[in-house]
Amino acid sequence: MNLSDFNLRIEAISLDIADKKGISLLIARADQVHPLASGNKLYKLFPNIEYAKKNNYQQLLSFGGAFSNHIHALALYSQSIGLQSVAIIRGEKEYASNPTLSAAVKAGMVLQFVDRATYRRRYDKNYLKLLQRQYPHALIIPEGGSSELALQGCTELMRQINHHCVEQQGVMPDVVTVACGTGMTFSGIVIGAESHQNMLGYLVLKDYSIYEKVDSLLSKYRHNRNYIMQAADFGGYAKLDADLLNFILNFLKQTDILLDPIYTSKMCRCVMQQIEAREFVAGSKVLMVHSGGLQAWYGMKDRVIRLAGEEVWKKITVYL
């Protein structure tokens, strides 16, 4: 199986703000390409897993927080292809009972909980050597799956987006927007884009070193694409307030598409603000990448109920 075998659907959507400003909106439904490892996580994991299989690794080891989309996807997808998985988790053992990690454990993942000081060593060569000795049959994958193998997968994602846009919608987007965590997905998408396309990355956490990391990575590949990165954290990583929740619910009402509460929703909200401010030329075709991560809603249950009540939570769960 190859990444090209997964069905990436491109949908034309209508939103009041965009319609009024003469902007055509498309959304790449990467959230629906696979039932176990949806969105950009699949595109980042797949090349790593193929490498592990070819080189006879028996385990995959990676890093993440208690509600990590990456860890959830790694556990479930690894189980489906017969590989064992291990996760170094930032936090306390009590987190193992949350929906994300309990699903991972059910899929056979081994969890190792570490304190924040230890977790900060996740890129330290000596710490990685220690882990490799502890798990000698494991391929160690960086946090978020963000290796150079993952970059290849995200480059393929962008090529698929353009191919399916032409095939399914008869157009190629002028602008492509994507949420940024580590910046690896965005970098791959920039590399895979056509030279006339404008690529916009929206940083959802307050780690401004990502700007430099993306620039450094892309300069290595001598890209000649147009790209801009900007802040879109709206108060901080994984912050969900009433305004963002209302935006997500309004988007859902108009499109019947549920956005995740951490990444794509913040990117889409920022894009709508830019459209309102006329930062896009009228007639532009803007494609937003839905990078998945819907399982993160389970970690927001109490907050959603506190902000909007049980009925809103039930409405969201219909799409999970």
Provide the domain limits for residue 120. Answer: 40-145
pLDDT of residue 38: 75
Q: Are strands 24-28 and 10-13 parallel, antiparallel or unpaired?
A: antiparallel
Q: Which amino acid is at 44?
A: K
pTM: 0.93
Task: Give the count of domains, the chain.
Answer: 2
On whether both 187 and 92 belong to a single domain, the answer is no
Residue 174 maps to which CATH number?
3.40.50.1100
Cα(248)–Cα(262) distance, integer angstroms: 11
pLDDT of residue 246: 98
At which of 80, 114, 145 does a domain end? 145
In this prediction, residue 224 has a pLDDT band, given cuts at 50, 70 and 90, of low
On whether both 140 and 152 belong to a single domain, the answer is no
The answer to whether residue 158 scores a pLDDT higher than 70 is yes
Across the range 89-102, mean pLDDT stands at 94
Q: Which two tokens stand for residue 37?
A: 């490892």
Cα(241)–Cα(251) distance, integer angstroms: 16
On average, the pLDDT of the chain sits at: 93
CA angle 257, 263, 269 (to 5 degrees): 65
Residue with tokens 């208690």: 66
On whether both 123 and 183 belong to a single domain, the answer is no
> In the Cβ-directed half-sphere of 176, how many Cα atoms lie within 13 Å?
33
pLDDT of residue 7: 83
Q: Which amino acid is at 160?
A: Q
At which of 145, 176, 192 does a domain end? 145
On whether both 152 and 26 belong to a single domain, the answer is yes
At which of 145, 178, 202 does a domain end? 145
Across the range 78-84, mean pLDDT stands at 92
**Exposed e or buried b for every residue in 114-144, given b needs 16+ CB within 10 A?**
beeeebeebeeeebeeebeeebeebbbbbbb
